Structure 1
Amino acid sequence: MNEKLTKEEIMAALNERHSPEKQALLSEGRVAIAGLGGLGSNVAYALARIGVGHLHLIDFDVVDITNLNRQQYFMEHLGMYKTDALKSLLLKINPYLDIQTDCVKVTEENIVDLLGDEPIICEAFDRPEAKAMLVNGVLEHFPEKKLVSATGMAGYGSSNTIRTKRLMKNFYLCGDGVTEPEYGNGLMAPRVAICAAHEANMITRLILGEEEI
């Protein structure tokens, strides 16, 4: 059972679960994920598991011990760039995915070059100022692209307050919109993962042609 599965075997299993018609769309899907922390690493796992064929992973940070409370990394990855660590993990799920990595900080100066090729962009940063920069940059330079962002997921409040909203024609926002990290109510794995699942599910729907909430 340690032998690597063939591409045909993996595709047959995905087709059985999702249908060949839906899986063909997922396999052709192209998504950029900006930020590979609690949101981005969970989004990437979900998309890899359903066979989204082309993932562009963007982050400049390394795995730190404080990341292990909510991010999809292990102790063996401490000190590794998140792009390298996450790519290695996703390829264990499906070694036939097309995964591009950019170990770089997203800025106003490089956002056009970094995000020009993917029709769907996932904003998955921790810091509000970075979120605002990416959202504003995408809306300015790429109004035709689908943008899925998130805000408000800290602590351990009710799961039911995390929602997906369509704010504009191509702009979707996940989270409760208000909950920021604070002492005793920081970013914790369960609620962050719920918000990441909202992002991943909205991205899945967009790939499959479903744009309404």
Structure 2
Amino acid sequence: MKIFINEKNVIVNEKDTAFEVRDFVKKDADIVVVNGFIIREDVELKENDRITLIIRGEIPNEEELEASLVSRHTPGVHERVKKACVGIAGLGGLGSNVAISLARIGIGKLLLVDFDVVEPSNLNRQQYFIKHIGMKKTEALADVLKNINPFVEVERKDLYLDESNIEDCFKEADIVVEAFDDPKCKANLVNTLLSKFPEKYIVAASGMAGYFSNNTIQTKRKLDKFYLVGDDTSEAALGCGLMAPRVAIAANHQANTVLRIILEEYEI
């Protein structure tokens, strides 16, 4: 019977159990994940089951690390996610959070686009650290991502996006995430992408400032391949700043929408 142990194809006996396999392959493993779920009682394995064996606190080798990173996924997800290329336009509160969530699920390639540097006020909502102040955001975020999932391919583009370069910049991306602060830049990017790449999916955001209700942030399918996240009203303004909790909620709406598109789950 064929199963996968730490993502390697292995032949085992019919009716072998997860704990029997653990005791034979990696007896000291104290975490056993079967098909995305940590088990605490033994189960009989079936054809094509996926089992990951982890020793708590041990730094795994490269092969085991990638297997561990995806061990909690729903079976069948990783193979499809790893083939996807996602472009992120803007690496601030939205873009940096989206990138981290996608890296954690094992996205194949991230195309990171921003012209700016990390400055101290960014740290209230963006996924950078004090050591990154003054660095290009593309460089700083690539540094963060490699310490989360070194198996994600990262391409950096340090540039200001406008009509002259948007098409060339995102020609390889399957999905583009709009993550700008400025409404004019948002509109320019989305309109250009819709015009130049009618086949690409776009996931944009508008309205996540302040500390209003979590539940006002929603994902809407505005067009066949255009999704918009946010509450449509709470833009950053005098007396209404951008803060980590709601920005991260919106960003993870975007990240989950990207994941659903990759998995061909298009409805909201």
Amino acid at match of 1:104: L
Percent identity, aligned pairs only, is: 53
Structure with the largest fraction of helix: 1
After superposition, give the CA deviation of every residue in 1:25-71 in whole Å (9 maximum; x if it has no partner): 11111100000000000000000011111100000000011101100
- Check whether the contact 1:7–1:96 (CA below 8 A) recurs between aligned residues: no
- Check whether the contact 2:70–2:106 (CA below 8 A) recurs between aligned residues: no
Contiguous gaps of at least 5 residues in structure 2? 1-56
2:68 to 3, 7, 13: 13
Amino acid at match of 1:60: F
TM-score (norm 1): 0.96
Q: 1:146 to 1:7 in 2, by over 3 A?
A: farther
Aligned-pair Cα RMSD in Å: 1.3
User: Which residues of 2 match residues 102-117 of structure 1 at below 5 A?
Assistant: 102-117=157-172
After superposition, give the CA deviation of every residue in 1:148-199 in whole Å (9 maximum; x if it has no partner): 0000000000010000000000000000011111223110110000000100
Amino acid at match of 2:93: G
Residue in 2 that maps onto 1:48: 103
Distance across 2 between alignment mates of 1:125 and 1:22: 29
TM-score (norm 2): 0.77
Distance across 2 between alignment mates of 1:28 and 1:168: 25
Residue in 2 that maps onto 1:143: 198
Amino acid at match of 1:196: A
Residue in 1 that maps onto 2:122: 67
**Are 2:238 and 1:205 equivalent residues in the alignment?**
no
Higher relative contact order (CA 8 A, sep 6+): 1
1:97 to 116, 131, 152: 152
Amino acid at match of 1:204: L
Amino acid at match of 2:175: I
Residue in 2 that maps onto 1:80: 135
Cα displacement (A) at 1:2: 8.8
Q: 1:186 to 1:47 in 2, by over 3 A?
A: same
Structure whose alpha-carbon radius of gyration is higher? 2
Cα displacement (A) at 1:20: 4.5
Give the secondary structure class of the aligned counterpart of 2:82. helix
2:251 to 190, 196, 201: 196
Give the aligned length.
212
Contiguous gaps of at least 5 residues in structure 1? none
2:224 to 158, 163, 169: 169
1:119 to 174, 178, 184: 174
Distance across 2 between alignment mates of 1:82 and 1:46: 17
